[in-house]
A and B are shown apart, each in its own frame.
Chain A
Amino acid sequence: MSSHAANTDDPHAALEPLKKTSTGIENKKLAMWAFLASDCMFFGTLISTHLIYRKVYPTVVEPTEFFDIELTGFSSFILLMSSLLMALSVSAAHKGNIAGMRRFLLGTIFFGLIFLSGQVYEFNHFVKDAGLTLSSSVFGSTFYVLTGTHGVHVALGVLWLSCWTACSLPKDWAWYTLRGGRFLWLPIRVIFAPMVGRYKHENALDVEVAGLYWHFVDIVWIVIFTAVYLVEYLPILGF
């Protein structure tokens, strides 16, 4: 069945040994899907907490007064685009196109960072202008903890993808081509330098698994965008 597995000219074949499992699904991929199933319950619990309190106290705060739905819509757009880039990156990885994969990964990270900045801006705006804090009302508690947890997921995703980007850099990558203050780059170099040049084609699976995580963060945002932001604009609803 795997007689062509030894053919090293075919990068696709390098993945074959990984698939030698009882189901043909790679271990890492299966574990990631199980993790995502588990993460559904994580976010399910958080979202229920938020929605329950919105339902019990529909009039305590009027979030539409300070929500900026255009910004949030833009954030959604950004995340969806990052998902596209992630998918393309995985696709490139499977083809053995490392440079392409790295470009798309950098794009994904860039969009992820834009999303995070949007969230920082939004939190800042809510705290400063709307006076909404963790302890100003139960809405503040549930809102910040829910969207904050999602933000932490995005941040971890950015970190994860950054690691793979660093890994995919060629071994002779020269750090001095990066311009910028020494102190800014120092910690980044310390963390990422050991990774450079480590990407091998069999790691396409790892990128794919990181991608699954990234897409999941995206679909969680699809739910949050609707359940936390959009429905607030339908005032007659108490669910």
Chain B
Amino acid sequence: MASTVETEHHAPAPAEPVRDGIWRRPLKNTGLVGFLTTVDHKKIGIGYALGALFFLLLGGVEALIIRAQLMYPEQELISARTYNQLFTMHGTTMIFLAVMPLSAAFFNYIMPLQIGARDVAFPRMNALGLWCFLLGGVLLNLSWFFPGGAPAIGWFAYAPLTDRQYSPDMGTDFWIMGLQILGIASLVGAFNFITTIVNMRAPGLSMMRLPLFTWMTLITSFLIILAFPAITIALVELMFDRHFGTYFFNVEGGGKPILWQHLFWIFGHPEVYILILPAMGIISEILPVFSRKPLFGYPLIVFSGAVIGFLGFAVWSHHMFTTGLGVVATTAFAFLTMLIAIPTGVKIFNWIGTMWGGRIRFTTPMLFSVGFIWMFMMGGFTGIMHSSPPVDAQQQDTYFVVAHFHYVLIGGSIFALFAGMYYWFPKVTGRLMDDFVGKIVFYLMFVGFNLAFFPMHILGMTGMPRRTHTYKSEMGWDQSNFWSTIGAFILGVGILIFVIQIVYAYYKGRKSPKDPWDSRTLEWDTDSPPKEYNFAYTPVIHARDQVWEDKYGVEAKRMEKIAPGKHGIHMPDQSWWPLITSIGLFIACLGMVFHKQPIPLTAEAVFGLEIVIFGLVATFVGMVAWALEGPGGFHLHPDPAEYADATPAPEDGHGHH
């Protein structure tokens, strides 16, 4: 019997896509259906980017309302509750819906190109990640429209404020379940990226030849798979506390609220590196290109990235120096935290070393990158300051900390992500963004950012606590707050111009050649924008900065190209099931939010777990259908002109998939 099965399997691959599974597989790869069923890492990357930019603007508007409220003392622009909701949603949105997905957009779009892969290892899982991210964002923001409104618990959601007794409304449940879906999105993405980077590198592309951005993608993915379980479990425990009467964090039953802080920061601290390491990767790509020099001390930068990631799991309690930890624990966590300054410093030294002796061109991506180094350095210094618990005792939960992490996350992550967007925009769209407008955006953002956040150092040291919706004039904080608000609006104008510019450039920008910056890494060797199959040939890598070597290096280090075999290039099929599975999860999570809650429009009906079960069944059906459908696949035959200089494929080989 086995042999019968075998011969069936080895039937020649059909030229047409396989129409298998419960539903017919979608074939149309344009329009709405094409987008909803796509498994192409590039389209998924663009989906992530658009979603993330939308949420960046949303979170930005929330921030501007916050700053407007704080512009003058004792203002009553918004209520205390609204303010608390705004800062909760601002933090959650920026971390989970803006910076992480924007990084994920680069992981998706750029990383497979950098390693010469046709797609990621599990294309449909990749689509699932995108849909979970978008639906998670929707779920979180749906809370605004239900009684009680958005959560007002802070992005850290310290128990027991999240207990039903203190936050009876559904907002907290929206927050819990929204984060669970977003966690799934991050996790499936991370498993996918790890497998892709480790397993799907082009021939010759050894780990120590990987572009730095790909390395940071790998380390970030490991951080995600190891950090997110902690928050997942903490959220499950909190959900049980709120819905099923357990006592994990409830003092009356013997629960310890401090446990929530530990579990949260076991996740939360690596999360900080999840936000910053991709940015460091982007910077490490851009600096060499515009200095026309290779990265200085590549092995050490890779190694320090790994060390930062590893140490990130050993320092979580430095967020809790004021919670009454013992002297030994405090000291240990303080010294471990200080250690992190060393690998971080290494990176800065090496970035300067990269530019040293180079030929620096100040294009927009380069300006953002240099701005990143300055701002990140500032954020690092304040980080060193509150790694010392006595200093932190004054700074914890004040605007000093707000200044610190905005220097790291805006001056750091956002600046780097903007650098990345300016840098890779020509690759993604085939069009250039205007350099002059780009510089205006940079200077507006740079000035606005510093004006908004530098005074916060002083506010913090002069005693202004975070998360307060107003303050008294006697405190002497009026002036700094005023200027800070002005700065925030300048920063907002900068970002607005950026959005206009990116839309304009998409339609009207100048056409870009495939390598407009004279770059160094593999993604610049394919078309702009890349074809569906990324590379018409299989690249065989012989050097770290392969594209640079091709242009300026010695003959021995030139890239070899292998033409596709006679079957053409194998491509995965599109699928509805990732979308359906994620909708099932969405329904299940929504059902958990509605559990035993009076829902508008259903005045009398109160749901138990019916909706959750329905959603889980839908998820299960989606997964089974997904598995039965199989990866499918079809073959494309690129125009031979695209691989004119390639050597023919060996007859029996499948080529590099």
**CB < 8 Å: which of A6, A14, A41, A137 contacts B247?**
A137
| Residues from chain B with Cβ under 8 Å of A200 in the complex | 5-6, 8-9
Query: Known: A49-B248, A200-B8. Is A138-B233 also a contact (CB below 8 A)?
Result: no
In the assembly, what is the distance between CA of A73 and CA of B232, in Å?
30
In this assembly, does B236 line the interface, its C-beta being within 8 Å of a C-beta of chain A?
yes
| Residues from chain B with Cβ under 8 Å of A145 in the complex | 236-237, 240, 246, 248
| Residues from chain A with Cβ under 8 Å of B10 in the complex | 8, 14
One digit per residue, 1 when the CB lies within 8 angstroms of any chain B CB and 0 when it does not, for chain A 1-39 equals 011011011010010010011110101001100110111
Whether the Cβ atoms of B1 and A56 lie closer than 8 Å is: no
In this assembly, does B628 line the interface, its C-beta being within 8 Å of a C-beta of chain A?
yes
Whether the Cβ atoms of A8 and B7 lie closer than 8 Å is: yes
Distance in Å: Cβ of B581 to nearest Cβ of chain A: 15
In the assembly, what is the distance between CA of A135 and CA of B255, in Å?
11
In this assembly, does B181 line the interface, its C-beta being within 8 Å of a C-beta of chain A?
no
Whether the Cβ atoms of A31 and B9 lie closer than 8 Å is: no
In the assembly, what is the distance between CA of A97 and CA of B1, in Å?
10
Q: Which of A106-114, A122-130, A190-198, A226-234 contacts its partner?
A: A190-198
Distance in Å: Cβ of B578 to nearest Cβ of chain A: 16
Whether the Cβ atoms of A30 and B199 lie closer than 8 Å is: yes
In the assembly, what is the distance between CA of A195 and CA of B21, in Å?
10
| Residues from chain B with Cβ under 8 Å of A5 in the complex | 652
Whether the Cβ atoms of B233 and A23 lie closer than 8 Å is: no
In this assembly, does A212 line the interface, its C-beta being within 8 Å of a C-beta of chain B?
no
Nearest CB to that of A170 among chain B residues?
B1
Q: Which of B221-229, B489-497, B582-590, B593-601 contacts its partner?
A: B221-229
In the assembly, what is the distance between CA of A190 and CA of B657, in Å?
36
**CB < 8 Å: which of B236, B254, B259 contacts A57?**
B254
Query: Residues of A within 8 Å of B, CB-based: how many?
Result: 56
Beta-carbon contacts under 8 Å, A35-76 to B:
35, 37-39, 41-42, 44-46, 49, 52-53, 56-57, 60
In the assembly, what is the distance between CA of A138 and CA of B266, in Å?
22
In this assembly, does B345 line the interface, its C-beta being within 8 Å of a C-beta of chain A?
no
In this assembly, does B201 line the interface, its C-beta being within 8 Å of a C-beta of chain A?
yes
Whether the Cβ atoms of B191 and A31 lie closer than 8 Å is: yes
In this assembly, does B187 line the interface, its C-beta being within 8 Å of a C-beta of chain A?
yes
| Residues from chain A with Cβ under 8 Å of B230 in the complex | 41, 45
Query: Known: A25-B199, A141-B248. Is A45-B233 also a contact (CB below 8 A)?
Result: yes
Whether the Cβ atoms of A135 and B228 lie closer than 8 Å is: no
| Residues from chain B with Cβ under 8 Å of A215 in the complex | none
Whether the Cβ atoms of B233 and A49 lie closer than 8 Å is: yes
Whether the Cβ atoms of B652 and A141 lie closer than 8 Å is: no
Q: Among B187, B195, B198, B225, which residue has the most Cβ atoms of chain A within 10 A?
A: B195
In this assembly, does B328 line the interface, its C-beta being within 8 Å of a C-beta of chain A?
no
Pairs across A and B, CB under 8 Å, 11 listed: A11-B2, A41-B227, A49-B248, A49-B259, A53-B254, A97-B2, A98-B1, A138-B253, A200-B8, A201-B6, A202-B9
Q: A31-B195, A49-B263 are in contact. List 5 more A-B contacts (CB 8 A).
A: A99-B1, A138-B248, A141-B255, A145-B236, A170-B1
Using a CB–CB cutoff of 8 Å, the interface residues on chain A facing chain B are 2-3, 5-6, 8-9, 11, 14, 17, 20-23, 25, 27, 30-31, 34-35, 37-39, 41-42, 44-46, 49, 52-53, 56-57, 60, 96-99, 134-135, 137-138, 140-142, 145, 149, 163, 170, 191, 194-195, 198-202
Using a CB–CB cutoff of 8 Å, the interface residues on chain B facing chain A are 1-3, 5-10, 22, 121-122, 187, 190-192, 194-195, 198-201, 205, 225-230, 232-234, 236-237, 240, 244-248, 253-256, 259, 263, 266, 624, 627-628, 652-654, 656-657
Nearest first, the 8 closest Cβ-Cβ pairs linking A and B are A141-B246, A135-B245, A41-B229, A21-B199, A38-B225, A45-B233, A42-B229, A138-B254
